Amino acid sequence: MGDESLLVSLSLPDFCLAGAVIGCLYALLASVLVIRFGRRPRTASAVHEPVTVLKPLCGVEPGLLARLAPFCRQSYDGPLQIVFGVHDRADGAVEVVEQLKAKFPDTAIDLKIDGRIHGSNRKVSNLTNMNALARHDVVMLSDGDIEVGPNYLVDVVASLQNPGVGAVTCLYHGIPRRRGLWPQIAALSTNTQFLPNAIMAMTFGLARPCFGATIALRRETLNRIGGFAPLSDCLADDYALGEAVRATGQDVTVVPELVGHACVHESASELLLHQIRAAKTIRSIDPVGYIGSVMTNPLPFALLGLIAGATGGVLAVAAAIICRSVLCFTVEKVYRLPRQPYWLLPLNDVIEFAVYIASFFGGKVSWRGYRYRVMQDGSLVQDSHLGRS
């Protein structure tokens, strides 16, 4: 027993250092792949198909009006309809939509206020209600916290015209849109964890992504998969939509351009609840791959190795911070992002590791003020109403 304990105590530092080395190599490889992905050519095509954009809303977050306005300023030659949806007439987003209508009187803007709930996923219920107002053949879904540039519609709809493409989706980067530490951490996590991890997984065929930041498809395709009803109880509704499109024999394309994701977390608890829900969503989609993803974050392993007394522990910590900074710098330059808060990378990476561990415990998630139980098949069952969070 004494010899076995000694073996374990000796192997722990080595294991931690090995994890740190793998994580550092991963960060450097991810940097190369981010550059490669960012150089993909855009689809050059003149498009003018009529488009309906469905944007489900819930509450008023900082900068909501400024975030929605670019959807009305698109460099797009075809007819455009934007449908917003809320469940409650008292929702503050109603007033923001009315302001948008007044600011852009020439844009076809509709608002669906409908309290009907069609399943546990309230966003999908909102989309189901809004869909009744959609007038055009091309339907584009876009979450309420997404920010876009003037060529957004052209880039997405042009890709939808390619042969065999049934849906088009977009990756996204994080933008802190509230003052304070937590929005910066959330944006940094998106830019240095989610984004490069997604690019790595797509490069090696380890993921079949479809992101709620943008999903564009034709009405015929939406009807073929049964509309939004099959997604009504899904935690990973965007992924499930992509899989349903692929089941029809069509592809889901990820365009090279990124959209922005507004990070407005007010507190550490709000940030952690959001990140744990996102982590459990990914784990429900790809449990094996998610387990292996722990090796993409070298700093926690380096710190554990240092604490365990590993020879070269300080060097491993320094190498982890440098490699993660290289990845952060690469994302920043490739996608022309504002200067990132590099000094927050160590804190971000420790939080990411804590979220990873927490995601394996408990079967509940919090989402927009509601708590849900996550079943083994990835479906949601509402547990309680917590109020806005």
The predicted-structure confidence for 330-382, as pLDDT tens digits, reads as follows 999 999 999 999 999 999 999 999 999 999 998 888 877 778 888 888 788 87
pTM for the whole thing? 0.91
Whether residues 196 and 338 fall in one domain: no
Contact by Cβ (8 Å): 249, 259: no
Total structural domains in the chain?
2
What angle is formed at CA 92 by the lines to CA 118 and CA 87, rounded to 5 degrees? 10
**Do 301 and 174 reside in the same domain of the chain?**
no
Q: Are residues 166 and 106 in the same domain?
A: yes
Assess whether 77 and 170 both reside in one domain.
yes
Residues forming beta bridges with residue 287, ordered by sequence position: none
Contact 197, 360 (CB under 8 A): no
Residue 260 lies in a domain: yes
Residues 317 and 367 in one domain: yes
In order of 53, 312, 382, 386, the CA distances from 231 in angstroms are 19, 50, 15, 23
What is the structure's pLDDT at 40?
84
Kind and range of the H or E element at 36?
Answer: helix 2-38
Question: Residue 322 domain-assigned?
Answer: yes
d(CA 88, CA 244): 30
Task: Show Cβ contacts of residue 26 under 8 Å, excluding neighbours closer than 6 positions.
Answer: 200, 295, 296, 298
Q: Is residue 195, in this structure, part of any structural domain at all?
A: yes
**DSSP SS3 for 276:** helix
Q: Which residues pair with 86 in a beta bridge?
A: 113
Residues of the chain with pLDDT under 70: 1-10, 43-45, 384-389
Q: Are 276 and 288 part of one and the same domain?
A: no
pLDDT at 385: 62
Domain that holds residue 159: 51-280
Q: What is the C-alpha to C-alpha distance for residues 217 and 348, in angstroms, rounded to an integer?
A: 35
How far out from the chain centre does Cα 303 lie? 28
Residue 98 sits in a domain whose CATH number is 3.90.550.10
Give pLDDT, residue 192: 97
In whole angstroms, give the CA distance from residue 330 to residue 9. Answer: 38
Same domain? For 64 and 85 the reply is yes
The verdict on residue 7 lying in a domain is: no
Q: Which residues of 303-319 are buried (b: 16+ CB within 10 A; e: fewer)?
A: bbbbebebeebeebbeb
Q: Are residues 175 and 242 in the same domain?
A: yes
In angstroms, the CA 51 to CA 139 distance is 6
Sheet holding 364-367, edge to edge: 364-367, 370-374, 380-385
| Residues in CB range of 370: below 8 A, 6 or more apart | 122, 382, 383, 384, 385, 386
Model pLDDT, residue 1: 46
Q: What are phi and psi of 221, to 5 degrees?
A: -65, -45
Which residues, 6 or more positions from 25, have their beta carbon under 8 angstroms from its beta carbon? none
pLDDT of 246 reads 97
Same domain, 191 and 104: yes
Q: Could you tell me if residue 46 is inside a domain?
A: no
Distances (CA, A) of 121 to 46, 239, 243, 368: 36, 14, 17, 11
* Same domain membership, residue 251 and residue 172: yes
